[in-house]
């Protein structure tokens, strides 16, 4: 969902707004899942919050790289030499 919001923002010429909108999904959903998972005893007992943290760190890295790539292609500039 985060990449979809970033892509739609880039298509409309608002790449920065798309990246910030994608951050809501990229960070908000895992934090909400951790909060809910720690309150439900069955999920907390099966290490659900820890798995969410691991998933969050891996997906955050991948999605950030892809979001910068999408935004960069819409700005027509170079971030790195």
pLDDT in tens, 10-65: 777 777 788 788 888 888 888 888 888 888 888 778 888 888 888 888 888 887 78
Q: Find, among 1, 6, 2, 24, the residue nearest to 70 by Cα.
A: 6
Q: How far is CA 77 from CA 10, 45, 48, 64, 71, in A?
A: 13, 48, 41, 17, 9
Q: Would you say residue 81 has pLDDT above 70?
A: no
pTM over 0.85: no
Q: Would you say residue 75 has pLDDT above 70?
A: no
Q: What's the distance, CA 5 to chain centroid?
A: 10
d(CA 26, CA 24): 6
Q: Would you say residue 78 has pLDDT above 70?
A: no
**pLDDT: which is higher, 20 or 71:** 20
């Amino acid at each position: 969902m985060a990449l979809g919001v970033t892509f739609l923002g880039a298509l409309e010429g608002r790449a920065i707004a798309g990246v910030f909108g994608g951050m809501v999904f990229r960070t908000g959903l895992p934090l909400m899942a951790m909060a809910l998972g720690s309150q439900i005893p069955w999920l907390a007992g099966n290490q659900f919050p820890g798995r969410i943290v691991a998933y969050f760190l891996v997906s955050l890295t991948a999605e950030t790289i892809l979001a910068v790539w999408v935004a960069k292609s819409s700005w027509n500039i170079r971030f790195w030499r």
